[in-house]
Structure 1
Amino acid sequence: MPLQMTPEELQTFIAQVFPQIKDDFVIEELEEMRIKVRLKVRDDHLRPGGTVSGPSMFGLADVSVYFAIMAMVGPKALAVTTSSSLDFMRKPVANADLIAECRLLKLGKVLAVGDVLMFSDGDDQPVARASMTYSIPQR
């Protein structure tokens, strides 16, 4: 299945349906069943000690899978997370953006499963790994 949306179309779509997060995430790479997304880390993403908080890391994983699905099926704002698992593997680098590398493992008619590795910008060791399942509205 070819891509249904470009990075620019995805960013415009997100600005329309989720304006509260439009400035947090940047799509850095997009190809079929894969996406790379940057969380532009700000003070409100940090926990004491200056590292990115768990909720912010979950948000990055969740948004990455959502973006990957939208890129493949087109704008379906009502796709929702039905299951998630997040493993924290090491402490993120303080005051660094986080980068998510997401791949869709399954893209069916009603369910999608994605796997996400998250890295501190400039570090090649993953800080977290997430698995997400989404329910997709009828196409």
Structure 2
Amino acid sequence: MEIKIGAAEMMPFLEEVFPQVKGMFGLDRLDADLLVMRLFADERHLRPGGTVSGPAMFGLADVSAYVATMARIGREALAVTTNCSIDFMRKPIAGADVLCECRVLKLGRALSVCDALLFSEGMDAPVARASLTYSLPPAR
């Protein structure tokens, strides 16, 4: 799938449409095959026990699917999440960033379907897996 917004433009676009996420995420890779985003895990993302919380990991998966979709359809800020299923499989490493490898499995006229694997930096096995669907604005 062709990329319409490259890595250099993506983070400024994301922070323009969602200023509340400024400084929370980084973009490690963006190409036709794969998007890799990073959650800069800090104290606001921790749960009791010192590990990254489920809502923080959900946020990373959701933002990754949004960015992967935007990269392919262009600046369509009104795309919205219509479904997400997430499995939390392992406890992330305390204090480590969380990485999300996201792939767009299908991009249609109305929907974008994505798969996301989340890894705690320094671990080989995934800590979570998510399947996300985005509804796309009409007439793009």
* TM-score, scaled to structure 1: 0.97
Task: Work out the CA distance in 2 between the residues paired with 1:39 and 1:135.
Answer: 24
Q: Which residue of 2 aligns with 1:45?
A: 45
1:107 and 2:99 correspond: no
For residue 23 of structure 2, what is the amino acid of its counterpart?
D
Give the alignment's Cα RMSD to 1 decimal.
Answer: 0.8
Listed as ranges, the gaps of 5+ residues in structure 1 are none
For residues 89-119 of structure 1, what are the alpha-carbon distances to aligned partners after superposition, in whole Å with 9 as ceiling and x for unaligned?
1111111000000001110111010000000
Q: Aligned to 1:99, what secondary structure does the other structure show?
A: strand
Whole-Å separation in 1 of the counterparts to 2:16 and 2:62: 18
Asked if 1:69 corresponds to 2:69, the answer is: yes
User: Which residue is 2:123 aligned to?
Assistant: 123
| Superposition map of 1:73-112 within 5 A | 73-112=73-112
Cα drift, residue 8 of structure 1: 1.7
Provide closer, same or farther for how the CA distance between residues 11 and 19 of structure 1 changes in structure 2, counting only shifts above 3 A: same
Deviation at 1:58, TM superposition (A): 0.3
**What secondary structure, in the 3-state scheme, does the structure 1 residue paired with 2:72 have?**
helix
Is 1:14 aligned to residue 22 of structure 2? no
Q: CA deviation at 1:34?
A: 2.1
Are the aligned partners of 1:88 and 1:128 in contact in 2 as well (CA < 8 Å)?
A: yes
The superposition leaves residues 53-112 of structure 1 with CA deviations (integer Å, 9 ceiling, x where unpaired) of 000000000000000000011011000000010001111111100000000111011101
Percent identity, aligned pairs only?
56
CA distance in 1, matches of 2:38, 2:131: 18
Code of the aligned partner of 1:76: E
- What is the TM-score of this pair, normalised by structure 2? 0.97
Q: Give, in whole Å, the separation in 2 of the partners of 1:28 and 1:81.
A: 23
Helix, strand or coil for the counterpart of 2:52?
Answer: coil
C-alpha deviation, 1:16, in angstroms: 0.8
2:52 is equivalent to residue 55 of structure 1: no
Deviation at 1:22, TM superposition (A): 1.9
Is this contact kept in 2: 1:10–1:67, CA < 8 A? yes
Aligned pairs, how many?
139
**Secondary structure of 1:44 counterpart:** helix
Corresponding residue of 1:132:
132
